[in-house]
Chains A and B, each alone.
Chain A
């Protein structure tokens, strides 16, 4: 090309355009990954189960969360954001989802883990519907990429229920 400046400009724009295409292909390559995650949540203890002064139920529980999410990581994964949500139905809402705990997994080595913890965020109902209520505990994950599309999915674990009376 004609001068130093022309050649420099041409090289920079062409190299950045190619970089954008490489990143798009890298993101598409994530679709080739077939993940096989597993998870299990045990409720070790219901610490307390009370009705607040405002009239809403609140519960505190201790859980043992174990999971193997290593197969979700690809070369284009920056981190995994996971959270545990309790899901149940009430007369007022067909679906209630309450987030109880979350974490960021920065690398594949940390994706196979177990943790014994009480709920990080308060479990408060809209009303007083929790006595004897059946609920699911769902582990959600968001695979956050280095470049491109983010994938999100979940594992639903059913069969949990609250005590019949406050404690």
Chain B
């Protein structure tokens, strides 16, 4: 699929948008904390340290599967990038070297 897109566009098309990144981070933190509490509770009540480790490991794996890949539901507010043909019509912004030096010498 990626080879059908213009050059470098695949880096933008298969990533998350800003809202998606925030959502991914929140989901990850909440899920890990919940699994920590659940696995500790299960291990303590059952008297089994191994049970706590197994439930927690399962929880970390599940969290990884949900939050790490670029699922579509993380891209519901996609960024609208300017078309390549449209961008070339306008001059690129110049970096003013002399003004930079003045501001840092304050």
Contacts and interface: CB of A to CB of B under 8 A. Distances in A.
Interface of A: 1-4, 7-8, 10-11, 14-15, 18-19, 21-22, 25-26, 29, 75-76, 146-147
Contacts of B39: 22
A146 B39 CA distance: 16
Interface stretch (B59-67, B79-87, B88-96): B59-67
Interface in B21-51: 21, 24-25, 28-29, 32-33, 36, 39-40, 43-44, 46-49
A25 B40 contact: yes
Contacts of A8: 64, 68
A22 B70 contact: no
Given A21-B36, A75-B47, 8 more contacts: A3-B15, A4-B68, A7-B28, A10-B28, A11-B64, A15-B63, A26-B49, A75-B44
A26 B49 CA distance: 9
Contact of B21 (A2, A15, A147): A2
23 contacts: A1-B21, A2-B21, A3-B15, A4-B68, A7-B68, A8-B64, A8-B68, A10-B25, A10-B28, A11-B28, A11-B60, A11-B63, A11-B68, A14-B29, A15-B60, A15-B63, A22-B39, A22-B56, A26-B40, A26-B43, A26-B44, A75-B44, A75-B48
A1 B70 CA distance: 11
Contacts of A7: 24-25, 28, 67-68
Contacts of B46: 75
Contacts of A22: 36, 39-40, 52, 56
Contacts of A21: 36
Interface residues of B, number: 26
A1 B20 CA distance: 8
Contacts of A147: 49
B32 A1 contact: no
B32 A76 contact: no
A21 B46 CA distance: 20
A146 B49 contact: yes
